[in-house]
Amino acid sequence: MLSIHVRINDQHGKPTPVRVRFTGPDGVAYTPAHRAAEFPTGRGEVIGGHLRLAGEVWHTMEGTCEIRLPASVPIRVQATKGPEYQPLDQTVTLGTGQMALRFTISRWADESASGWISGDNRVHGLSPHDAALDGAAEGLGIVQLLARVEEVHSIAAGRTFSVPVNMGAFSGQQPARETHGTCVAVNTLNQHPLLGTVGLLHAHRPVYPLSFGGSDASDDWSISAWCDQCHRKRGLTVWVNAFEAVAGIRGGEALIACILGKMDALEVGAARKTPLLPWCYRLWNAGYFLPLIGGSGHEANSVPLGSPRTYARIPTGEADPLTSWAEAIRSRQVYVTNGPLLRLQQTPVQATAQPASLSASSAMSQNASSSMSQEVSPAVSQDVSQIEASAASIVPFERLELVHNGIVIASVEASAQDGRWTAVACWPVPRESVGWYAVRCLGGIGHPLHQQPTFAHSAPVLLDKPLHDPISCEALRKLVQQTRDWLATHGQFAESRRRQEHLDRCDEALARLPTPPQNDENSSGVTPRS
């Protein structure tokens, strides 16, 4: 066995953090000296620096490492660095006395060149140092490390304690750690076991309590109060596990906060029990245009950071990227993805546009970072007549789709060339000037390692006015009423006025979701599709 110094450089010749794997011809994995060959993969178990995905062991390295490898046998070296880098996969054979290996991992796209910064909105259990290094190895610009109350079992005490984890590192609007172009901010995840969970990001102070409710606790606090306090502290509110049913309640008070304008975004997570898009489209059809953003929910060594992730567009050279990133989410200058890179642009009638028959390969032959870089604002002018959209990816996807008011009205198949999948389209703006449209990328299990269907989705773009679809409003009304019934009959309140405050918020939300009139000929009859 030889002691080898390994260095993996970026295209500029500088060592760069990557996720790496070394294996011999017999499939045996070799471990860098600073990492463990065996490690736990359970929730909250010594998280950071290691990953076991689809049975394969990966390690995070800062650009260099020491490792013992056998001589005279082929060694496969693999390295990845998120969706903007071409994965490294080379086989080398060490000669007698060899002491070093040098590799380069290069970008195939640079989203930051046109102002797009990627971030993971929710990770747990890491130290800020590990979060920064693991984030850099996944090509993330921002990592939101969320402190939360966790159940910790003590063998010595023979009982379980509810304790806040990572609150000592809270940084709010300031970086807790920065390295290799990755900024870590520590904020909070605030939870009620049934009424909802919210990520409170970019607040200049923590919002307490971190949790309330449960079998032996009162429900006197509220999701809305959390959101209000976060906004007073200039923060960003994110509905985590949106529309997941808990104990028969789907939506809870978090949905009411959305309807009352207290929520800023919906999280798309890696693990869900029910599809999010049909309910998200109902929310948009009812006139509540919260963007989708990505959060991996990383809390174990079996979950990679940044899958899915958020791309938010911030002004070039911005001195405070954390604030600009939060404001980009608030203003819907974002898209969510677990691989494909999206572009979306509207062009006026008189503008020269690419023909609809333009092939994906020719359109994408230019630099992927500059293609279609002039994104739209949430408001759309009347002279816009066509939509230009594109997607490019190093993992397979099947098609790029145009969604109007929850229904796919156009699509284009992806094409593959030189290990990349691309799709380019030019579509007319939907004739109906009501509601919204968005583009999305779908596919099968595009990334064999992550074992997730390929997915990307833009924020909704508003047309002349909201749809206010009666069918969608009625579906949301039922969820609000379901929550109201629970609060009225099962909620535990130390003060009766707190129950009434909850019920009043429910009634206010119901008033904003009017019951559809009988036999309304103007009813859209929209049925959102996943």
SS (H, E, C) 250-304: ECHHHHHHHHCCCCCEEEECCCCCCCCHHHHHHHHHCCCCCCEEECCCECCCCCC
DSSP state of 451: T
Which pLDDT score, from 0 to 100, does residue 358 have? 32
User: In a 3-state reduction of DSSP, which class is residue 54?
Assistant: coil
8 A C-beta contact, residue 339 and residue 446: yes
* Domains of the chain from N-terminus onward: 2-104 (2.60.40), 110-335+474-530 (3.20.20.140)
Residue 32 CB: number of other CB atoms within 10 A? 20
The Cα 44–Cα 390 span in angstroms is 38
The Cα 473–Cα 470 span in angstroms is 5
User: In a 3-state reduction of DSSP, which class is residue 122?
Assistant: strand
- Beta bridge mates, 236: 201
0.85 exceeded by pTM: yes
**Per-position pLDDT tens, the chain of length 530:** 899 999 999 999 999 999 999 999 999 999 999 999 999 888 888 899 999 988 899 999 999 999 999 999 999 999 999 999 999 999 999 998 899 999 999 999 999 999 999 999 999 999 999 999 999 999 999 999 999 998 888 889 989 888 999 999 999 999 999 999 999 999 999 999 999 999 999 999 999 999 999 888 899 999 999 999 999 999 999 999 999 999 889 999 999 999 999 999 999 987 788 899 999 999 999 999 999 999 999 999 999 999 999 999 998 777 788 999 999 999 999 999 999 999 998 877 554 444 333 333 333 333 333 333 334 334 444 454 799 999 999 999 999 999 999 999 999 999 999 889 999 999 998 877 789 999 999 887 766 556 688 999 999 999 988 889 999 999 999 999 999 999 999 999 999 999 999 999 999 999 999 776 655 444 445 556 65
User: In a 3-state reduction of DSSP, which class is residue 50?
Assistant: strand
8 A C-beta contact, residue 2 and residue 98: yes
Which pLDDT score, from 0 to 100, does residue 319 have? 77
Which pLDDT score, from 0 to 100, does residue 371 have? 33
The Cα 82–Cα 89 span in angstroms is 14
Which pLDDT score, from 0 to 100, does residue 448 have? 59
8 A C-beta contact, residue 69 and residue 3: no
DSSP string, 62-101: SSEEEEEE-SSSEEEEEEE-STTBPPEEEEEEPPTT--EE
Residue type, position 74, single letter: P
